[in-house]
Each structure stands twice: as structure tokens, then as C-alpha cells.
Structure 1
């Protein structure tokens, strides 16, 4: 059982973004049928000239339905409330989450937009990157504990400066939550620490990690888990080289590694590692479809009519004409023209960051192509140069 108070557990979650379903009928008035919360985040989406744009994103979290109220539509009602709240909020057009049970959220319009790898490496693994060695050598590092007062703000500034496609960045309170050290989260492990990378007296990245002490046959066999890594490639290289050479550690597990992360190349390929686990990372939901699609930059021209199914947010349902021009801008307007593609809104969420192949979804029979070539045309306009990175948990 948690030993921390409710407020300690909800640190960083704004009071006005904590919601509960109210009980009806002959039930315990002290029991909420369901709860959910929203972290105000920014999400890095494709931007102009192959760059990035950070846009507001509603980070859905703490979603739960009381066992006494399951199968009564509580989750459906809460998510509908969430979509209506986001839709009414100026400037925020997307919602996102990490799915504790992936089968649930696709039914409510969330699409899997990125993957996360967990890469295990042995202590002393060589990371080879000749073209980055000089830049990595110019990076100095300094150890901090996450409980030091300035650490949350420094981590946030680094994340804002070096956010990659698909990354989310929270407000200051979120980083205070990340740095919180509750007794039940330690479980015999050391407190989390942060190794800041510095160049010319300024922070240029960090690696956040926690070590678990273990000895076997009088030899150290500890594990170091990296749960946060930020910075330009040369900075990340320098930080990873440092944590791969810590004393009393035999295994380093690097979490939240994106599918195109250079770590696997530096290590010599998948078989040079101690193992790779693949998980779903960020699930994206287009709450205001036309605004969300026009907010991102497009990679190629297209003129496609979509017939979108969206029962949970009916203002999105129906036919939309998507026109993207050579400048990377797009218009999305209602139309009565015949559809070129029929698809559920969750597949647009999956492709929104440019990493999930929409043409592959069509080949899998998940997108119904009414005009031959329409799926390829839309996918070429949506796709990004690199796949989205894994997003930090929230």
C-alpha cells in the first residue's frame, strides 16, 4: 500500500485537471465510480522545413474505474467528457496517453504513434561513433541527485531545448513529480540521480538513472536503469559512455529508446546488446481533427477526401478534404465529395507524427481505399524523415 499522502501522489497534476465521476443511485457516496487526470504537455510534431513544432497536448493519466462500477459505461462517459473539455480549450487539439491496457484505448480513438525499446547493455560496452568523438569529448558531466532544488527546472529546460519528434514536455510541476522519491518507489534501490552534460558552462543534456545494488558469489552484479536521456547525439553519446563505466554495475538498461535512436548503431547492432524489449509508447488522439492536421507540417502534396469514423467525438465524423501544398501547409475542410479513403480516427492518430505507415495499414485491411493510390498519396504527405522517439511516461 502507498505510504505517501494523496497530494504527494498527485504532485504535478493541476487541481483543475483532476476529474471524478459522481455516483448515482444506492451506492457509497464516498466512492467515486471513476477518476482521471490531465497533465498539460507539449508534443513535438513535424514542423516547417523538416523541423519540429511543439504544440499543446492534453496528457491523459490516472484513468481508473472502481471495480463496483465496471461495465456501466463509466470509462466511456469520462473519455467523452475529456474530449469535450479538450475540444472547448483554445489551442489544444490533441490528447495523448501511455496505455496500461492497450486494447482499451483504440476503441476510444487513440492510435499507437510511437514505439519504445528497452536496450540492455553490459558494463564496458563500446559505443563506436567516430564522427561524434570530438564533440562528445568536449562534454563535461556533473552528478546531481533528483532531490536538489534546481534539478527539475534544469531537466525541463534541457527537454524543451532538445525535444525530438514525438517527445512530450511537461510543466514545472510535472518535473517535480518525476524527481519525487517516494519510499514505495525505491524498494531497496538507490535514489535516482541525474548526470548533467555541460558545455561552456551551460547544461546541454542529462541522463537520469537509478542503480540497484546486487552481489553474487562475492562479485558486484548491480543494474543501472536509465529512465531519462536528453541532448544532441554527441551529448547522449558522452552520457551513455559515462554510465556504461560505473563501478559495481554489470548491466545497464536504457529505457525509452526510439526506433531510430543511434544507440543500436553505436553498440554494433541488436545482437551486440544484452537484449531488446519492444513496447508501445505514445498513443495519440485527434480531438479536433481539422485543427490538428493543419497544425503539423506536411512532407509532400496531396489532395485526398477522407471519410472518418469517430463516434466518441462526433464533430470529427464524416468526410474531410485534405489538401497539402508544396510549402508543407494543409487545409482540411468539410466536403460532400466521394471519399478516397475510409478509416477510423485512431488510424489518423497513429499516423499523426509520421511514423506509423498508413500504406501498411491499408495493406493490412485496416484502411479502406476507395480510390487506388489514395493511401500512398496521403502517407507520403504525412510521413516524417525519422520515426518518432519514445515519449517519457506520464
Structure 2
């Protein structure tokens, strides 16, 4: 078999995207979705593999800035639209695309890459580690009450058409980006993505609705949601599906959740993507009635290890030498000294000094955003302590005060 791996030409986008659709089940996206994805595609960062006239592999990247512990927004490649045709499995095509992508990312000077995995087992061999989690809630709202903070009643709520509220919702999102690791700052056009609402994806729910929260005429939050009305002989049994809910202060946040809980004829509230430390868990009277599930979300790959570790801050002073294994990006392999001062600022340099901790780049990727504990990885045998006491010290320094989270996919 002779295949060609190369950068996507704009004129080839439809054929390239059809390969992606087929790999994910063959259900075509709606015209609205296709138009948006084509506009957002960075063709110069999109790869395809051709077998003759056929596209048999796809991989893309978006140019984002991603929040890291300390609030800095760091350039990162957001890997997306990865697929291999089922007719061309087990021939090294995915490996060739991952190799080309990481080389290109390094050439662009982006310290790390991120992705969400259709199956988490796929990307570990390329050095990606699961770095954030998302929580889903199915709340029996009639069996709990909300304990809201002072000032909640001062928040004014009003309905807005989603298309007309697009800029307002994006404004709230942008103000919150640096406050939580893992949140990407998007470029132009991305404000449209949360508002795309094809009928085929609603599963019997209403069109998307939007409510804005204001105080003294100033926007302080927003929520988008779907309503799925259902009835049984005893009465209504509807569901509210929360898509995005964000606010700039606790009172506005509580007001939006209270609104969602108070929608008439609904007995259940579903939120499929919330941070694992979501404050709503402290507003509800019975967290057991929230039926919580947690799964992996954002995966991180350190591309330039030293630059990536220097880009974030840490919770305390640290002086540790890592012995890093990285077969796929060998320029990262070897010993690195990470030194952190009292303010959390870091320096990471090559060293010949004896190692304190031994691990692979995958574990560093998992710990990078501060949500996964190096100590926990150590208990799993994935981090080896070579000098007593250094694992606990490094683990504490890497943790973030707020859990990393990816509020919107890409």
C-alpha cells in the first residue's frame, strides 16, 4: 500500500470531512454544523492521508491559548478531527499523523497539546495523559432544596434568543477563562459553536433556550438549556438539560441554578459536563440525589517539557529532578531539574544531577493542569520515588486550587 500524508488543501475539505464522518459512524452533520466546522478548520494545521484518490485518515489542530495553574494563557495545539478509515486500520496511519503533528507543534513553539479522546486508551502511547475530568449530574430536583447565598434575590433574570445572546454568553465565558486551568481562549467564530442547535441532536427536546443574569443593568451570568417535556398518568415528568451555565459571582451562579430548578413541569435536571468541584454540590441539600458520574475529559501532551513546566505556577517552593521517559518525543527524555521559588514561579532545565522522581511524560501531562495527583499516580506505580519525601512535596506543589475543566469541546 502506498499512501500520502500531507497538509489539507481548502478545496479538499468536503472529502476530508466525509472521511471523518464515516469513521464516527457515517451520520452526516447538518448543513449548519458543516458550515461552521469548515469555517473553523485551520487548513494549514489539518492533515490528511490519501490512498490514491481516497482520503483514509484525518487529523487537525486549532490554535488556542489554554489556561494553566496561575492563570496564564499558554499557546497550545488543540488536536481534533482525528480518524482512520476502517479499511486502513493497523497500518501505522495514526502513528504517522501523530508524529507529524507533534513535530509541527514543536516547530511552532507551542509547549503542549490537548485533546479529548473518543476512547481514552488510544492516545497514551503518544504521550498524552488524562489531565482533567468532567462530572455529569442527573438531579431529582423535587427531592432536594437549594441553599442560596445572600444577594441571590437581587439578580434579575431574563429570557433572550440564543442567537441574539451569543455575544453576551461569550463575554461571560471570556471573563472566566483564566480562573480555571484547562479552559481554552478561543478565536473569532467560536462563539457560534455553543449556539449550533440541530434538530437531529435534540433527542425530543425543545430548541435551545437562553436566560441572562443581570445586576444593576450589568451582565453577570447566563445559562443555555433544552426542555424535554414528558408526562405519566400521575402528572408531568419533564427534564431540563443544562448545556452551559456560567456566572461571575456566587449570587448570580445560585440565581441561575435556582431558575433551572424552578422551571414548571420538570422533575429532573441533567447537566452532562460540569467541573468536579462545581459549587452546585454545596447548594443542594442532598448530593446523593444528584446521581454523579465522573469521566476523563482533557488529555495533555507536553511537547516542549521545559517550556511547559515553566509556563505555569506552583503552590509552593520546590526543587526536584525528574527522570523522564519519552520514546515518542525523545527531545524530552532524560533528567530535568524543576526549581520553584516562594511565589510559585518556575525554572526547568536539563541536569546531570541524580533523579528524585522517575516517570514518563504521560504522567507529567496528567499532573500538568493540577487536577491529578502525582502521589496518586505513584500509588499506581506510574511514578517512582528515588529520594524519600520528594513525591509528596512535588505532588502538593503541582495541585491547583480549582479543578481543571474543559467547559466546551472542540
TM-score under structure 2 normalisation? 0.86
Structure 1 residue 325: Cα displacement? 1.0
Once the two structures are superposed, the pairs formed by residues 121-140 of structure 1 within 5 Å of their partners are 121-124=139-142, 125-129=144-148, 132-134=149-151, 136-140=152-156
Gap regions ≥5 residues in structure 1: none
Query: Once structures 1 and 2 are overlaid, which stretch shifts more, 80-89 or 162-171?
Result: 162-171
Task: Please say if residues 152 and 172 of structure 1, whose CA atoms lie closer than 8 Å, have aligned partners that are also in contact.
Answer: no
Correspondence for 1:56: 75
Structure 1 residue 187: Cα displacement? 3.8
Determine whether 1:105 maps to 2:131: no
Correspondence for 2:373: 357
Query: For each residue in 1:294-340, what CA deviation from the matched residue of structure 2 results, as whole angstroms up to 9, or x when unmatched?
Result: 11011111111111112222221221111111121111111122221
Q: Distance in 2 between matches of 1:269 and 1:289?
A: 43
Task: Please say if residues 297 and 328 of structure 1, whose CA atoms lie closer than 8 Å, have aligned partners that are also in contact.
Answer: yes
Secondary structure at the counterpart of residue 104 of structure 2: helix
Per the alignment, do residues 14 and 119 of structure 1 end up closer, same or farther by CA in structure 2, a change over 3 Å counting? same
Task: Please say if residues 42 and 62 of structure 2, whose CA atoms lie closer than 8 Å, have aligned partners that are also in contact.
Answer: no
Per the alignment, do residues 386 and 188 of structure 1 end up closer, same or farther by CA in structure 2, a change over 3 Å counting? closer
Gap regions ≥5 residues in structure 2: 1-26
Task: Please say if residues 309 and 343 of structure 1, whose CA atoms lie closer than 8 Å, have aligned partners that are also in contact.
Answer: yes
Per the alignment, do residues 58 and 89 of structure 1 end up closer, same or farther by CA in structure 2, a change over 3 Å counting? same
Secondary structure at the counterpart of residue 240 of structure 2: strand
| Alignment equivalent of 2:48, drawn from 21, 24, 28 | 21
CA RMSD of aligned residues (A): 2.0
| Alignment equivalent of 2:219, drawn from 203, 206, 218 | 203
Query: For each residue in 1:16-55, what CA deviation from the matched residue of structure 2 results, as whole angstroms up to 9, or x when unmatched?
Result: 35523332xxx451x22211222333322111xxxx2222
Correspondence for 2:22: none
Structure 1 residue 240: Cα displacement? 0.5
Once the two structures are superposed, the pairs formed by residues 158-307 of structure 1 within 5 Å of their partners are 158-163=172-177, 164-166=179-181, 167-217=183-233, 219-231=235-247, 232-271=249-288, 273-307=289-323
Q: Distance in 2 between matches of 1:255 and 1:169?
A: 21
Aligned residue pairs total 379
Secondary structure at the counterpart of residue 150 of structure 2: helix
Correspondence for 2:101: 82
Once the two structures are superposed, the pairs formed by residues 313-332 of structure 1 within 5 Å of their partners are 313-332=329-348
Correspondence for 2:66: 43
Per the alignment, do residues 186 and 260 of structure 1 end up closer, same or farther by CA in structure 2, a change over 3 Å counting? closer
Query: Once structures 1 and 2 are overlaid, which stretch shifts more, 38-47 or 73-82?
Result: 38-47
Task: Please say if residues 228 and 255 of structure 1, whose CA atoms lie closer than 8 Å, have aligned partners that are also in contact.
Answer: no
Q: Distance in 2 between matches of 1:106 and 1:32?
A: 25
Query: For each residue in 1:262-321, what CA deviation from the matched residue of structure 2 results, as whole angstroms up to 9, or x when unmatched?
Result: 2112113422x2411211122122121111111101111111111111222222122111
